[in-house]
């Protein structure tokens, strides 16, 4: 009798529906994620050139070609430079804004909305916005510099290969600072009030309070924001594609742009798949340690 009751509970109508939906979701994720990744790796090991598919396996030839490709190496260096500047600056600015908002300022919700607004905008929209602002002849930046008598500071901005990448980084910091601020503010507000009161009793206040008590306790928030920003810095395609297209020359070219051009513009599918695989491995090198540390904390 007990077995029959248990079997009836397992095979109820609601449970069957839930298990069916779960199975469908697993199959879809398995196909569009894992099988697609596997298929991309297989293509990267082939000699597929042009619109006609070819699965003639040639080994790691495409990956060897990457090491001698100056465009790929430039894109990789630009990606590294983007991560080294964009991520720390965004984290620092986000933490600074979070600390400002934690001072119980009036109209906090209004300031929080203003700081977060850039992140809510589409990357395509902000790409067009900053492209217009950076325009050497009609852009807002050069126009304001001319009006204020600071014409000597006028520049070609994204048309100057020496500073184009830094202009892109400034734009990305502007868009992501609000996101970092929100993560840090949530971390600060999650600290028990008793910890802060105990520190204040011991004489900690102002900067010392944040340095010794608050900031050390928001390591999880810092790590979360760091991982998200690093992953975006690796695959920031749409924003840079709209803003500069990778130019001038290859000054702002990054791996996703190179992969897109090689695959869809020049139909070098095997070579583009090799770049995509390298990009995937770089992302995994960031995400896997984060998932492992999260699992250990839980």
282, 259 in Cβ contact below 8 A? Answer: no
**pLDDT, tens only, 28-57:** 989 888 899 999 999 999 999 888 888 889
- pTM, full prediction: 0.87
Write down the pLDDT at residue 68: 92
236, 256 in Cβ contact below 8 A? Answer: yes
pLDDT of 20 > 90? The answer is no
- CA distances 73 to 66, 77, 234, Å, are 8, 6, 14
Structural domain count of the chain: 1
**pLDDT, tens only, 193-210:** 887 778 777 766 677 788
Confidence bin at 298 (pLDDT 50/70/90): low
Sign of the torsion formed by the C-alpha atoms of 114, 115, 120 and 126: positive
In a domain? residue 54:
no
**pLDDT, tens only, 158-187:** 999 999 999 999 999 999 999 999 999 999
Nearest to 83 by CA among 298, 259, 285: 285
In a domain? residue 23:
no
pLDDT of 89 > 90? The answer is yes
In a domain? residue 242:
yes
In a domain? residue 184:
yes
**pLDDT, tens only, 216-249:** 889 888 988 999 999 999 888 999 999 999 989 9
In a domain? residue 25:
no
For 149, the domain range is: 64-297
In a domain? residue 79:
yes
For the chain, give the percent of residues with pLDDT over 70. Answer: 95
- CA distances 151 to 132, 141, 143, 147, 155, Å, are 18, 11, 9, 8, 9
Write down the pLDDT at residue 9: 56
Write down the pLDDT at residue 174: 95
For the chain, give the percent of residues with pLDDT over 90. Answer: 56
In a domain? residue 157:
yes
In a domain? residue 135:
yes
CATH code: domain of residue 261: 1.10.3720.10
Across residues 133-159, what is the average pLDDT? Answer: 91
241, 131 in Cβ contact below 8 A? Answer: no
pLDDT of 5 > 70? The answer is no
**pLDDT, tens only, 245-287:** 998 999 999 999 999 999 999 999 999 999 999 999 999 998 8
Q: Three-state DSSP class for 213?
A: helix
Across residues 3-29, what is the average pLDDT? Answer: 75
What average pLDDT is seen over the chain?
88
């Amino acid at each position: 009798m007990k077995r029959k009751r248990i079997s009836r509970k397992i095979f109820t109508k609601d449970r069957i529906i839930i298990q069916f939906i779960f199975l469908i979701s697993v199959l879809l994720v398995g196909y569009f994620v894992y099988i697609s990744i596997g298929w991309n790796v297989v293509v990267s090991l082939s000699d597929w050139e042009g619109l006609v598919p070819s699965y003639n396996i040639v080994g790691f030839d495409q990956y060897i070609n990457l090491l001698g490709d100056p465009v790929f190496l430039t894109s990789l260096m630009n990606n590294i430079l983007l991560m080294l500047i964009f991520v720390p600056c965004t984290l620092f600015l986000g933490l600074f804004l979070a600390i400002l908002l934690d001072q119980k300022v009036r109209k906090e919700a209004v300031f929080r909305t203003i700081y977060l607004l850039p992140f809510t905008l589409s990357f395509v929209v902000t790409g067009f916005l900053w492209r217009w602002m950076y325009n050497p002849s009609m852009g807002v930046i050069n126009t304001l510099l001319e009006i204020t008598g600071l014409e000597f500071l006028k520049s070609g901005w994204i048309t100057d290969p020496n500073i184009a990448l830094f202009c892109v980084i400034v734009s990305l910091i502007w868009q992501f600072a609000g996101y970092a601020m929100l993560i840090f503010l949530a971390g600060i507000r999650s600290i028990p009030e008793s910890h802060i009161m105990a520190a204040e009793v011991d004489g900690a206040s102002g900067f010392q309070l944040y340095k010794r008590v608050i900031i050390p306790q928001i390591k999880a928030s810092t790590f979360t924001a760091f991982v998200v920003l690093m992953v975006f810095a690796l695959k920031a395609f749409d924003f840079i594609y709209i803003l500069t297209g990778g130019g001038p020359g290859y000054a702002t070219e990054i791996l996703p742009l190179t992969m897109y051009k090689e695959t869809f513009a020049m139909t070098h599918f095997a070579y583009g798949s090799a770049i995509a695989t390298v990009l995937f491995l770089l992302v995994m090198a960031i995400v896997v340690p984060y998932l492992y540390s999260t699992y250990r904390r839980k």
